[in-house]
Amino acid sequence: MRTTILVLGALVSVSGCKKDAAPESKAPPKAEQVNWDPKSEPMDAPEWPMVAESITAGVASSFARMPGATAGPTAPTELWAKLKPYSDTYLKSWRSQLSGEPASATDVVDAFNELAIQVTGPTGFWRKTLPDQWLGCAENGETPPCQKIAGMKEELGQWDDISKQLQEIAPEKADKFVRKNYARLVSYLEIYVPEESSAAAMKKTAFYQKHLASVLDGMM
């Protein structure tokens, strides 16, 4: 099921005409950096925001996997199960659907995209809730934590482009996309997504430990 949700100008999911992608290239990506490939085929897409050296050792191996290491046919169902715990937080609008099995791989992609927008999107947790609501960076952006967060805008902003591309995945390609990018999708959940919007949950994320622990642990 595709719905149209407007989050301060950001479309979470849209339906409409789909464009065919270019033929798939066999050239592998660089070993130290994984290319984000929403359509499972070459395109002018942003690279995956984090390289292996920039994240904690616990999840680095997931990002180092080659995109050709396609997961099994149950990958969409497995990813759906990993999204269910967020039905009371980031995915409240998907609560009824998440109570059962996914209707299609397209639903899995759309639900993941909505969660990503609420976590790394312009009005999401890392770019709005933490800096503006918790740290007051909109009024006083000169503090060390606010300066640190401002320096991450480029990395987090890549997800805006990725989100737009996720919306364009044709229904017939959604299953292939989830299977091919399963490790990356799960790694996103492990790196960026707090279990809930709380300081305690935030501190458990790999993203916080890598980028913000040094400036925020004494404050929150």
Residue 127 lies in a domain: yes
Higher pLDDT: 118 or 43? It is: 118
pLDDT of 179 higher than 60 = yes
Among 62-76, 169-183, 194-208, name the one with the lowest average pLDDT. Answer: 62-76
pLDDT of 23 higher than 50 = no
What is the pLDDT at residue 32?
31
Domain coverage including residue 157:
73-220
Residue 135 lies in a domain: yes
Residue 69 has a CB neighbour count (10 Å cut-off) of: 10
193 vs 197: CA distance, rounded Å: 9
Residue 48 lies in a domain: no
Residue 52 lies in a domain: no
> Between vectors from CA 85 to CA 79 and to CA 88, what angle results, nearest 5°?
130
Instruction: Please count the structural domains in the chain.
Output: 1
90 vs 136: CA distance, rounded Å: 22
> Between vectors from CA 43 to CA 37 and to CA 49, what angle results, nearest 5°?
45
Residue type, 139: E
pLDDT, averaged across the chain:
76
pLDDT of 16 higher than 80 = no
DSSP labels, 14-34: --S--PPPPPPP-PPPPTT-P
Residue 189 lies in a domain: yes
pLDDT of 68 higher than 70 = no
187 vs 100: CA distance, rounded Å: 23
Question: For 11, how many CA atoms within 13 A lie in the half-sphere containing its CB?
Answer: 13
pLDDT of 143 higher than 80 = yes
Residue 42 has a CB neighbour count (10 Å cut-off) of: 15
Residue 117 lies in a domain: yes
> Between vectors from CA 157 to CA 76 and to CA 109, what angle results, nearest 5°?
15
What is the pLDDT at residue 93?
95
Residue 126 lies in a domain: yes
pLDDT more than 70, % of the chain:
68
DSSP labels, 94-138: GHHHHTS--S-HHHHHHHHHHHHHHHHSTTSIIIIIIIIIIS-TT
What is the pLDDT at residue 190?
87
In this prediction, residues 160-179 reach a mean pLDDT of 88
What is the pLDDT at residue 46?
43
Residue 4 lies in a domain: no
113 vs 117: CA distance, rounded Å: 6
pLDDT of 191 higher than 70 = yes
